[in-house]
Amino acid sequence: MILAGLRKLSLLDFPGKTCCTVFTLGCNFRCPFCHNGSLVVDLDNSPRVSEEDFFAYLIQRKKLLEGVCVTGGEPLIHPDIECFLQKIKDLGYLVKLDTNGSFPDKLKNLIKKDLCDFVAMDIKASKDGYLRAIGLSDFDYLKIERSIDILLKGNVPYEFRTTVVKEIHSDDDFKTLAQRIKGAPRYTLQSFVNSDDVINKKLNPCTQEEIERFASYFRGNVGEIVIK
Protein backbone atom coordinates (compact mmCIF):
# COMPACT_ATOMS: atom_id res chain seq x y z
CA MET A 1 0.00 0.00 0.00
CA ILE A 2 1.12 3.54 -0.72
CA LEU A 3 0.25 5.56 2.35
CA ALA A 4 0.31 9.35 2.28
CA GLY A 5 -0.63 10.34 5.79
CA LEU A 6 -1.69 9.27 9.26
CA ARG A 7 -3.99 11.10 11.66
CA LYS A 8 -3.01 9.46 14.89
CA LEU A 9 -6.22 10.10 16.79
CA SER A 10 -9.76 10.88 15.71
CA LEU A 11 -13.03 10.87 17.60
CA LEU A 12 -15.06 11.74 14.48
CA ASP A 13 -13.91 9.62 11.52
CA PHE A 14 -15.34 6.29 12.77
CA PRO A 15 -18.85 6.68 14.27
CA GLY A 16 -18.82 5.70 17.92
CA LYS A 17 -15.17 4.60 17.93
CA THR A 18 -11.81 6.02 18.88
CA CYS A 19 -9.62 5.56 15.84
CA CYS A 20 -6.67 6.63 13.79
CA THR A 21 -7.09 7.57 10.13
CA VAL A 22 -4.71 6.47 7.41
CA PHE A 23 -4.72 8.14 3.98
CA THR A 24 -3.96 6.15 0.85
CA LEU A 25 -2.42 7.83 -2.19
CA GLY A 26 -4.22 8.33 -5.50
CA CYS A 27 -7.76 8.27 -6.84
CA ASN A 28 -9.58 7.40 -10.06
CA PHE A 29 -11.82 10.47 -9.71
CA ARG A 30 -10.93 14.16 -10.01
CA CYS A 31 -13.72 15.72 -7.98
CA PRO A 32 -13.21 19.49 -8.18
CA PHE A 33 -14.26 19.88 -4.55
CA CYS A 34 -11.90 17.18 -3.22
CA HIS A 35 -10.41 18.39 0.07
CA ASN A 36 -7.46 16.02 -0.26
CA GLY A 37 -6.47 17.24 -3.71
CA SER A 38 -2.74 16.75 -3.22
CA LEU A 39 -3.35 13.03 -2.74
CA VAL A 40 -5.02 12.93 -6.15
CA VAL A 41 -3.21 15.30 -8.52
CA ASP A 42 0.21 15.87 -6.94
CA LEU A 43 1.33 12.31 -6.29
CA ASP A 44 5.06 12.89 -6.69
CA ASN A 45 5.15 15.58 -4.02
CA SER A 46 2.77 13.97 -1.55
CA PRO A 47 4.20 12.77 1.75
CA ARG A 48 4.66 9.09 2.47
CA VAL A 49 4.14 6.92 5.52
CA SER A 50 5.74 3.49 5.40
CA GLU A 51 3.61 0.43 6.14
CA GLU A 52 6.23 -0.57 8.68
CA ASP A 53 5.81 2.67 10.62
CA PHE A 54 2.03 2.50 10.33
CA PHE A 55 1.75 -1.00 11.73
CA ALA A 56 4.32 -0.23 14.42
CA TYR A 57 2.03 2.60 15.52
CA LEU A 58 -0.99 0.27 15.60
CA ILE A 59 0.89 -2.24 17.74
CA GLN A 60 1.93 0.55 20.10
CA ARG A 61 -1.66 1.84 20.46
CA LYS A 62 -3.54 -1.47 20.72
CA LYS A 63 -5.01 -0.66 24.13
CA LEU A 64 -5.92 2.93 23.27
CA LEU A 65 -7.57 2.77 19.82
CA GLU A 66 -10.60 0.75 18.76
CA GLY A 67 -10.44 1.14 15.03
CA VAL A 68 -8.74 2.35 11.88
CA CYS A 69 -10.38 4.54 9.25
CA VAL A 70 -8.89 3.81 5.82
CA THR A 71 -9.50 6.74 3.49
CA GLY A 72 -7.86 8.54 0.58
CA GLY A 73 -7.76 9.28 -2.22
CA GLU A 74 -9.58 6.07 -3.01
CA PRO A 75 -8.34 3.03 -1.08
CA LEU A 76 -9.82 0.51 -3.51
CA ILE A 77 -7.56 1.53 -6.40
CA HIS A 78 -4.76 -0.34 -4.63
CA PRO A 79 -4.37 -4.02 -5.61
CA ASP A 80 -3.16 -4.98 -2.12
CA ILE A 81 -6.06 -3.40 -0.22
CA GLU A 82 -7.40 -6.78 0.91
CA CYS A 83 -4.06 -7.81 2.39
CA PHE A 84 -3.69 -4.41 4.04
CA LEU A 85 -7.10 -4.59 5.72
CA GLN A 86 -6.45 -8.17 6.82
CA LYS A 87 -3.28 -7.07 8.59
CA ILE A 88 -5.23 -4.39 10.45
CA LYS A 89 -7.92 -6.90 11.43
CA ASP A 90 -5.31 -9.40 12.57
CA LEU A 91 -4.14 -6.84 15.14
CA GLY A 92 -7.65 -6.77 16.59
CA TYR A 93 -8.79 -3.43 15.18
CA LEU A 94 -12.14 -2.58 13.65
CA VAL A 95 -11.95 -1.17 10.11
CA LYS A 96 -13.92 1.68 8.62
CA LEU A 97 -13.53 2.02 4.85
CA ASP A 98 -14.17 5.28 3.00
CA THR A 99 -14.87 4.74 -0.71
CA ASN A 100 -16.29 6.49 -3.76
CA GLY A 101 -18.21 3.36 -4.73
CA SER A 102 -16.58 2.89 -8.13
CA PHE A 103 -15.29 -0.62 -7.37
CA PRO A 104 -18.41 -2.63 -6.47
CA ASP A 105 -16.81 -6.05 -6.93
CA LYS A 106 -13.94 -5.20 -4.60
CA LEU A 107 -16.36 -3.69 -2.10
CA LYS A 108 -18.57 -6.79 -2.14
CA ASN A 109 -15.56 -9.05 -1.68
CA LEU A 110 -14.21 -7.10 1.30
CA ILE A 111 -17.61 -7.17 2.98
CA LYS A 112 -17.99 -10.89 2.30
CA LYS A 113 -14.60 -11.56 3.92
CA ASP A 114 -15.51 -9.44 6.99
CA LEU A 115 -12.66 -7.02 6.33
CA CYS A 116 -14.88 -3.95 6.87
CA ASP A 117 -16.81 -3.17 10.02
CA PHE A 118 -18.22 0.09 8.66
CA VAL A 119 -18.36 1.58 5.15
CA ALA A 120 -18.83 5.26 4.28
CA MET A 121 -19.64 5.70 0.61
CA ASP A 122 -19.54 9.10 -1.03
CA ILE A 123 -22.36 9.67 -3.50
CA LYS A 124 -21.10 12.63 -5.46
CA ALA A 125 -24.38 13.72 -7.09
CA SER A 126 -27.44 12.31 -8.81
CA LYS A 127 -26.87 10.36 -12.02
CA ASP A 128 -27.32 13.32 -14.38
CA GLY A 129 -24.66 15.39 -12.64
CA TYR A 130 -22.15 12.67 -11.87
CA LEU A 131 -19.54 13.42 -14.53
CA ARG A 132 -19.44 17.06 -13.51
CA ALA A 133 -19.09 16.08 -9.88
CA ILE A 134 -16.24 13.61 -10.40
CA GLY A 135 -14.31 15.73 -12.92
CA LEU A 136 -14.29 13.11 -15.68
CA SER A 137 -15.58 13.02 -19.25
CA ASP A 138 -16.65 9.37 -19.09
CA PHE A 139 -17.59 6.94 -16.34
CA ASP A 140 -19.83 3.89 -15.96
CA TYR A 141 -22.43 5.11 -13.46
CA LEU A 142 -23.77 1.57 -13.08
CA LYS A 143 -20.80 0.92 -10.80
CA ILE A 144 -22.19 3.47 -8.36
CA GLU A 145 -25.63 1.91 -8.59
CA ARG A 146 -24.19 -1.51 -7.81
CA SER A 147 -22.27 -0.25 -4.79
CA ILE A 148 -25.37 1.48 -3.46
CA ASP A 149 -27.32 -1.75 -3.77
CA ILE A 150 -24.55 -3.76 -2.09
CA LEU A 151 -24.69 -1.50 0.96
CA LEU A 152 -28.48 -1.29 1.04
CA LYS A 153 -28.53 -5.05 1.63
CA GLY A 154 -27.29 -4.27 5.13
CA ASN A 155 -24.55 -6.86 5.40
CA VAL A 156 -22.26 -4.28 7.01
CA PRO A 157 -22.98 -1.05 8.94
CA TYR A 158 -22.72 1.89 6.55
CA GLU A 159 -23.58 5.44 5.69
CA PHE A 160 -23.91 7.41 2.50
CA ARG A 161 -22.64 10.97 2.31
CA THR A 162 -22.37 13.90 -0.09
CA THR A 163 -20.18 16.99 -0.06
CA VAL A 164 -22.54 19.84 -0.97
CA VAL A 165 -21.24 22.42 -3.48
CA LYS A 166 -23.20 25.40 -4.80
CA GLU A 167 -21.93 25.09 -8.40
CA ILE A 168 -22.62 21.36 -8.60
CA HIS A 169 -25.74 20.49 -6.61
CA SER A 170 -29.40 21.40 -6.87
CA ASP A 171 -32.65 20.46 -5.18
CA ASP A 172 -33.30 17.88 -7.88
CA ASP A 173 -30.07 16.06 -7.00
CA PHE A 174 -31.16 15.50 -3.44
CA LYS A 175 -34.78 14.72 -4.25
CA THR A 176 -33.50 11.97 -6.55
CA LEU A 177 -30.93 10.69 -4.05
CA ALA A 178 -33.47 10.59 -1.24
CA GLN A 179 -35.50 8.07 -3.19
CA ARG A 180 -32.48 6.12 -4.41
CA ILE A 181 -31.06 5.41 -0.95
CA LYS A 182 -34.40 4.91 0.78
CA GLY A 183 -33.94 2.63 3.77
CA ALA A 184 -30.34 3.62 4.48
CA PRO A 185 -29.59 4.01 8.20
CA ARG A 186 -27.62 7.25 7.88
CA TYR A 187 -26.96 10.01 5.36
CA THR A 188 -24.49 12.84 5.86
CA LEU A 189 -24.49 16.16 4.04
CA GLN A 190 -21.08 17.74 4.36
CA SER A 191 -20.68 21.40 3.50
CA PHE A 192 -17.89 22.12 1.03
CA VAL A 193 -14.95 23.95 2.61
CA ASN A 194 -12.54 25.78 0.34
CA SER A 195 -8.86 25.36 1.16
CA ASP A 196 -5.42 25.35 -0.40
CA ASP A 197 -5.74 21.59 -1.03
CA VAL A 198 -8.98 21.77 -3.03
CA ILE A 199 -8.64 20.92 -6.72
CA ASN A 200 -10.86 23.78 -7.91
CA LYS A 201 -10.50 26.79 -5.63
CA LYS A 202 -13.29 28.75 -7.40
CA LEU A 203 -16.09 26.67 -5.91
CA ASN A 204 -18.39 27.85 -3.12
CA PRO A 205 -20.35 26.26 -0.29
CA CYS A 206 -24.11 26.31 -0.12
CA THR A 207 -25.78 28.29 2.62
CA GLN A 208 -26.88 26.59 5.80
CA GLU A 209 -30.49 27.25 4.78
CA GLU A 210 -29.94 25.47 1.45
CA ILE A 211 -28.27 22.49 3.10
CA GLU A 212 -31.09 22.15 5.60
CA ARG A 213 -33.58 22.24 2.73
CA PHE A 214 -31.65 19.52 0.91
CA ALA A 215 -31.63 17.47 4.11
CA SER A 216 -35.40 17.76 4.44
CA TYR A 217 -35.89 15.61 1.34
CA PHE A 218 -34.39 12.64 3.20
CA ARG A 219 -36.75 12.74 6.16
CA GLY A 220 -38.78 9.56 6.17
CA ASN A 221 -36.41 7.95 3.68
CA VAL A 222 -33.28 7.42 5.80
CA GLY A 223 -32.83 6.74 9.48
CA GLU A 224 -30.46 9.48 10.59
CA ILE A 225 -29.63 12.71 8.77
CA VAL A 226 -26.37 14.39 9.69
CA ILE A 227 -25.30 17.89 8.60
CA LYS A 228 -21.63 18.81 8.93
pLDDT digits (tens, 9 = 90+) for 104-142: 999 999 999 999 999 999 999 999 999 999 999 999 999
What confidence tier does 72 reach under pLDDT thresholds 50, 70, 90?
very high
Please check the confidence at residue 192 and state whether its pLDDT lies above 90: yes
What confidence tier does 199 reach under pLDDT thresholds 50, 70, 90?
confident
Contact between 68 and 96 (Cβ < 8 Å): yes
User: In the prediction, which pLDDT does 67 show?
Assistant: 98
Q: Report the pLDDT averaged over residues 10-26.
A: 95
DSSP 165: B
pTM > 0.85: yes
User: In the prediction, which pLDDT does 41 show?
Assistant: 80
Instruction: Find residue 222's DSSP bridge partners.
Output: 219
Contact between 191 and 228 (Cβ < 8 Å): yes
C-alpha–C-alpha distance, residues 147 and 128, integer Å? 17
Q: Where are the alpha helices (H) located in the chain, listed in sequence order?
A: 38-41, 51-60, 81-90, 104-112, 130-134, 142-152, 171-180, 208-216
Q: Report the pLDDT averaged over residues 16-23.
A: 96
Q: At what angle do helices 104-112 and 142-152 cross, to 10 degrees?
A: 20
